[in-house]
Amino acid sequence: MSIEQLESIAQAMVAPGKGIIAIDESNNTIKKRFDAVGVENTEEHRRAYREMLLTTPGLNEHISGAILFDETIRQSTKAGVPFTKVMMDNGILPGIKVDKGPFPLAGFPGEVVTEGLDGLRDRLNEYARLGAKFAKWRAVITIGEDMPSSTCIDANCHALARYAALCQEAGLVPMVEPEVLMDGDHDIDVCYDVTEATLRSLFASLYEHNVMLEGTILKASMVLSGKDCPEQANIDEVAEATIRCLKTTVPAALPGIVFLSGGQSDEQATAHLNAMNQMGPHPWPLSFSYGRAMQQAALKLWAKDMTGNFAAAQKTVAQRAKENGLAALGQWSKAA
Q: Domain spans of the chain? A: 3-327
pLDDT of residue 261: 92
CA distances from 242 to 16, 225, 301, 316, 322 (A): 20, 11, 33, 28, 23
Residue 114: pLDDT band (50, 70, 90) is very high
Q: CA neighbours within 13 Å on the CB side: how many for 75?
A: 19
CATH fold of 3-327, please? TIM Barrel (3.20.20)
Is it the case that residue 3 has pLDDT exceeding 90?
Answer: no
Residue 162: pLDDT band (50, 70, 90) is very high
Question: 222 with 238: CB under 8 angstroms?
Answer: yes
State the average pLDDT for the chain.
96
pLDDT in tens, 124-158: 999 999 999 999 999 999 999 999 999 999 999 99
Is it the case that residue 37 has pLDDT exceeding 60?
Answer: yes
Ramachandran assignment for 131, one of left (phi > 0), alpha (psi -120 to 50 degrees), beta (any other): left
pLDDT of residue 280: 87
Is it the case that residue 292 has pLDDT exceeding 90?
Answer: no
Q: Which residues are catalytic?
A: 177, 219
- Closest CA relative to residue 68, chosen from 90, 91, 93, 43: 93
Question: 317 with 19: CB under 8 angstroms?
Answer: no
Q: Is the peptide bond before 94 cis (omega within 30 degrees of 0)?
A: no
User: 64-78 as b/e, with b when 16 or more CB fall inside 10 Å?
Assistant: bbbbbbbebbebebe
pLDDT of residue 1: 65
% residues pLDDT > 90 (the chain): 94
pLDDT of residue 293: 83
pLDDT of residue 227: 95
Is it the case that residue 187 has pLDDT exceeding 90?
Answer: yes
Is it the case that residue 336 has pLDDT exceeding 70?
Answer: no
pLDDT of residue 2: 79
Task: Return d(Cα 319, Cα 334) in angstroms, integer.
Answer: 12
pLDDT in tens, 298-330: 999 999 999 999 999 999 999 999 999 999 999
Is it the case that residue 335 has pLDDT exceeding 70?
Answer: no
- Strand blocks (E) in 117-183: 134-141, 173-180
For 81, which DSSP code? -
The phi, psi pair for 333, rounded to 5°, reads -145, 160
Residue 263: pLDDT band (50, 70, 90) is confident
Q: CA neighbours within 13 Å on the CB side: how many for 12?
A: 19
pLDDT of residue 206: 98
Task: Return d(Cα 1, Cα 262) in angstroms, integer.
Answer: 32
Distance from the first to the final alpha carbon of the chain? 40
Q: Quick one: average pLDDT of 208-228?
A: 97
The phi, psi pair for 183, rounded to 5°, reads -60, 135
Q: What 3-state DSSP class applies to 277?
A: helix
